[in-house]
Chains A and B, each alone.
Chain A
Amino acid sequence: MGVLAEVYEKLNTCGKCGFCHGACKTYKKDGAEYMVARGRVQLIKALADNKIDADSDYEDVVNSCLLCGECAVACPSGVKGHELVLAARRDLKLRKGTKPFAKSLVLKSLTKPGRLSFGFSFFAGPGKKILKMIDGVQFVRGIDVLSMPAAKTPFSKQVPEVITVANPKKKVAFYVGCFLNHSLVDSAHSVVKVLTKNDVEVTVPREQPCCGLPQYVYGDFESAKAQGKKVINEFGKYDAVITACASCASMLKKEMSELFHDDEDYLPKVKEFSEKCFEFSEYVSKELDTTSKLKNDTPTIVTYHDPCHMVRYNKITEEPRNLLKSVPRNKYVEMFEANRCCGAAGLVQAFYHDLSSMITADKAQNIMDSGAEVIATSCPACMLKISSGLKLKGSKVEVKHVADILASSLRD
Chain B
Amino acid sequence: MLSQSVITKLKSICGEKDVITSKIGMYAYGYDGTMLEGSHVGIVFPESTQEVVDLVNFCREQGIAIVPRGAGTNVSGGTLPSDGSIVMNFARMKKLLEIDLENYVAIVEPGVVNWDIQETLAKYGYYYPPDPASWKASTLGGNLGESSGGPKCFKYGVTRDFIYGLEVVLPTGKVIWVGGRDFSSEPMYDLTRILVGSEGTIGFITKAAIRIQPIPEAKRTMLAIFNTPEDASQAVADIVSAGIIPTTLEMMDNLIINTTEDHCGAGNPRDAGALLIIEVDGHPGDLEAQVETIGEVAKKANSKDFKVATSAAEVDKIWLARRVAFGSVARVKPNYGVNDITVPRSNFPKAIAAIEKVKKDFGVTIGTVAHAGDGNLHPLILFDQRNKDEVDSLHAAEMELCRIAIDLEGTISGEHGIGILKKALLPKEFGPVGMDVFKKVKRSFDPQNQFNPGKLIDL
Are A and B interaction partners?
A: yes
Contact B134 A19 (CB under 8 A): yes
Measured between alpha carbons, how far is A9 from B324 in the docked complex, in Å?
A: 21
Residue A21, interface by CB 8 Å: yes
Known A-B contacts A13-B330, A42-B31; the reply to A19 vs B136 at CB < 8 A is: yes
Contact B327 A77 (CB under 8 A): yes
Residue A31, interface by CB 8 Å: yes
Query: Of B20-28, B245-253, B349-357, B395-403, which stretch is located at the interface?
Result: B20-28
Residue B92, interface by CB 8 Å: yes
Residue B73, interface by CB 8 Å: yes
Chain A residues near B220 (CB, 8 Å)?
A: none
Residue B33, interface by CB 8 Å: yes
CB closest residue in chain B, given A12 = B334
Interface size class of B (residues with CB under 8 A): 35 or more
How close is B284's CB to chain A, nearest CB, in angstroms?
26
Q: Which residues in chain B, 331-353, are within 8 Å of chain A measured between CB atoms?
A: 334-336
Interface size class of A (residues with CB under 8 A): 20 to 34
Query: Of A53-61, A229-237, A258-266, A341-349, which stretch is located at the interface?
Result: A53-61
Chain A residues near B384 (CB, 8 Å)?
A: 12
Q: Which residues in chain B, 296-347, are within 8 Å of chain A measured between CB atoms?
A: 324, 326-328, 330, 334-336
Chain B residues near A43 (CB, 8 Å)?
A: 24, 27-28
Chain B residues near A13 (CB, 8 Å)?
A: 330, 334-335
Measured between alpha carbons, how far is A52 from B31 in the docked complex, in Å?
A: 15
How close is A273's CB to chain B, nearest CB, in angstroms?
31
Contact bitstring A29-46, B, C-beta under 8 A = 1, else 0: 001111000010011001
Measured between alpha carbons, how far is A20 from B71 in the docked complex, in Å?
A: 10
Contact B137 A15 (CB under 8 A): no
Contact A21 B326 (CB under 8 A): no
Contact B115 A31 (CB under 8 A): no
Measured between alpha carbons, how far is A257 from B75 in the docked complex, in Å?
A: 39
The A/B interface has a contact count, at CB < 8 Å, of: 103
Chain B residues near A58 (CB, 8 Å)?
A: 24
Q: Which of A19, A20, A57 contacts B23 (CB 8 A)?
A: A57
Chain A residues near B28 (CB, 8 Å)?
A: 32-34, 39, 42-43
Contact bitstring A119-154, B, C-beta under 8 A = 1, else 0: 000000000000000000000000000000000000
Measured between alpha carbons, how far is A58 from B35 in the docked complex, in Å?
A: 22
Contact B89 A31 (CB under 8 A): yes
Contact A75 B327 (CB under 8 A): yes
Chain A residues near B113 (CB, 8 Å)?
A: 21-22
Chain A residues near B115 (CB, 8 Å)?
A: 22
Contact bitstring B383-427, A, C-beta under 8 A = 1, else 0: 011100000000000000000000000000000000000000000
Q: Which residues in chain B, 118-142, are within 8 Å of chain A measured between CB atoms?
A: 119, 134, 136-138
Q: Which residues in chain A, 67-103, are within 8 Å of chain B measured between CB atoms?
A: 74-78
How close is A18's CB to chain B, nearest CB, in angstroms?
4
Chain B residues near A31 (CB, 8 Å)?
A: 45, 89, 91-92, 94, 111
Identify 29 residue pairs between A and B in the complex whose beta-carbon atoms are under 8 Å apart, listed by A's number.
Answer: A12-B334, A12-B384, A12-B385, A16-B31, A16-B35, A17-B33, A17-B75, A17-B134, A18-B72, A18-B73, A18-B134, A18-B138, A21-B71, A22-B115, A31-B89, A31-B91, A31-B92, A31-B111, A32-B20, A32-B43, A33-B28, A34-B25, A42-B28, A43-B28, A52-B23, A75-B327, A76-B330, A77-B334, A78-B330
User: B: which residues have CB within 8 A of A?
Assistant: 20, 22-25, 27-29, 31-35, 43, 45, 71-73, 75, 89, 91-92, 94, 111, 113, 115, 119, 134, 136-138, 324, 326-328, 330, 334-336, 384-386
User: A: which residues have CB within 8 A of B?
Assistant: 9, 12-13, 15-23, 31-34, 39, 42-43, 46, 51-53, 55, 57-58, 61, 74-78, 336
Not counting A12-B386, A22-B113, A32-B91, a sample of 15 additional A-B residue pairs whose C-beta atoms are within 8 angstroms of each other reads A9-B334, A15-B336, A16-B32, A16-B34, A16-B35, A18-B33, A19-B134, A31-B111, A33-B29, A34-B24, A46-B27, A55-B24, A57-B22, A76-B326, A76-B327
